[in-house]
């Protein structure tokens, strides 16, 4: 495949798109690195970083309090530049939340590249992955390269990646992972690198009214190894109610899920449970040191 920025001759020929349901889940139990045989390490990852100021602020607060241990940034999203600057300042371990869709009716973002086949009529991304059936795989790859380069260009060293909503094409994800050395949370084929975890659990899909109880039950049953919780925290903000109409199937994802994720993670009960159970909160990679004079608050 020809990469963005390289000279192109004839159009690159891509194999048939490889979809996630055609590949076994390769994420779990792949030479997990733990501090000891009995250690329980918990990675708390915040997705959608930079989507909106309420999301950026919610993730930053939880990182600074020592609960969120890493995040993934949406480089095309409206608050991405502020999120990148904040991650550079604090040294928060960062990945790239690979974005090829904009699911909201009234809050929109656009590709970083020209990418005409990735755009809706308003110039923003199409609303979901199914709408990308006719999209150019080359355009998608070049757009994802531009998103990784945006993070690198902000002075950061991303270490992991995953798809926003769900994967578009596993073949280009594998090539992107190999090209930049990024571990993927999505299951991808060789030569891609898959994230090494013993378990992966999504806080956001738990019912809001029992989310804290579900979180506490989950961490109480973790065996030794490295585990990940994925969340979508945000500060409560009126803007979140304006992303889409209440009749939308995405309505709960606009505010309720995000605010309840934040509440569960920031609860004293969760911090106390991790402490009492001897769970070590960690990132999948050692974070870059914060710039001199701006000490890293997360330990």
Reading the chain (299 residues) residue by residue, the pLDDT tens digits are 433 333 333 333 444 444 444 433 333 333 333 345 679 999 999 999 999 999 999 999 999 999 999 999 999 999 999 999 999 999 999 999 999 999 999 999 999 999 999 999 999 999 999 999 999 999 999 999 999 999 999 999 999 999 999 999 999 999 999 999 999 999 999 999 999 999 999 999 999 999 999 999 999 999 999 999 999 999 999 999 999 999 999 999 999 999 999 999 999 999 999 999 999 999 987 544 433 333 233 33
CA distances from 110 to 57, 102, 288 (A): 22, 8, 29
For residue 298, tell me if it sits in a domain: no
What's the structural domain count of the chain? 1
In the numeric block, which tokens belong to residue 120?
């809706």
For residue 88, tell me if it sits in a domain: yes
Helices within 110-210 (DSSP H only): 137-153, 170-180
For residue 236, tell me if it sits in a domain: yes
Report the interhelical angle of 170-180 vs 137-153 (nearest 10°): 30
Q: 198-224 burial by CB neighbour count: b if 16+ within 10 A, else e?
A: bbbbebbebeeeebbeebbebbeebee
Backbone angles phi, psi at 66, to 5 degrees: 90, 10
**Predicted local confidence at residue 288, as pLDDT:** 40
**Predicted local confidence at residue 1, as pLDDT:** 43
Q: How far apart are CA 27 and CA 177, in angstroms?
A: 14
Q: How far apart are CA 284 and CA 92, in angstroms?
A: 12
Angle value at C-alpha 57, between 282 and 204, nearest 5 degrees? 60
For residue 118, tell me if it sits in a domain: yes
Q: Are 124 and 108 in contact (CB under 8 A)?
A: yes
For residue 263, tell me if it sits in a domain: yes
Q: How far apart are CA 37 and CA 187, in angstroms?
A: 26
What DSSP line would sit under 201-219, residue for residue?
A: EESTTS-GGGHHHHHHHHH
For residue 292, tell me if it sits in a domain: no
For residue 8, tell me if it sits in a domain: no
Question: pTM of the full predicted structure?
Answer: 0.85
Q: Are 256 and 208 in contact (CB under 8 A)?
A: yes
CATH number at residue 49: 3.20.20.370
**Predicted local confidence at residue 285, as pLDDT:** 78
What are the residues facing 71 on neighbouring strands?
46, 94
Q: Are 132 and 101 in contact (CB under 8 A)?
A: yes
Q: Are 100 and 132 in contact (CB under 8 A)?
A: yes
Which range marks the domain in which residue 185 is found?
Answer: 33-281
DSSP state, 294?
A: S
For residue 1, tell me if it sits in a domain: no
**Predicted local confidence at residue 8, as pLDDT:** 35
């Amino acid at each position: 495949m020809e990469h963005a920025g390289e000279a192109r001759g004839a159009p690159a020929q891509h194999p048939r798109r490889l979809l996630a349901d055609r590949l076994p889940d390769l994420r779990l139990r792949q030479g997990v690195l733990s501090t000891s045989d009995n250690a329980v390490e918990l990675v708390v990852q915040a997705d959608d970083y930079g989507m909106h100021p309420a999301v950026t602020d919610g993730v930053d607060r939880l990182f600074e309090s020592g609960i969120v241990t890493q995040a993934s940034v949406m480089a095309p999203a409206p608050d991405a530049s502020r999120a990148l600057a904040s991650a550079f300042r604090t040294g928060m371990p960062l990945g790239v939340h690979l974005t090829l869709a904009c699911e909201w009716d009234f809050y929109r973002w656009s590709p970083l590249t020209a990418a005409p086949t990735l755009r809706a009529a308003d110039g923003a991304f199409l609303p979901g992955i199914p709408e990308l059936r006719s999209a150019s795989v080359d355009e998608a790859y070049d757009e994802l390269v531009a998103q990784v380069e945006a993070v690198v260009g902000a002075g950061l060293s991303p270490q992991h990646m995953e798809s926003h909503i769900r994967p578009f094409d596993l073949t280009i994800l594998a090539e992107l992972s190999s090209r930049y050395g990024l571990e993927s949370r999505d299951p991808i084929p060789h030569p891609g690198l898959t994230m090494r975890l013993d378990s992966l659990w999504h806080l956001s899909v738990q019912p809001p009214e029992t989310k804290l109880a579900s979180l506490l039950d989950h961490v109480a049953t973790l065996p030794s190894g490295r585990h990940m919780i994925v969340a979508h925290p945000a500060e409560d903000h009126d803007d979140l109610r304006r992303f889409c109409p209440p009749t939308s199937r995405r309505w709960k994802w606009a505010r309720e899920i995000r605010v309840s994720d934040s509440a569960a993670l920031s609860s004293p009960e969760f911090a106390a449970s991790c402490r009492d159970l001897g769970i070590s909160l960690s990132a999948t990679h050692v974070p870059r040191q914060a710039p001199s004079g701006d000490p890293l608050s997360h330990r």
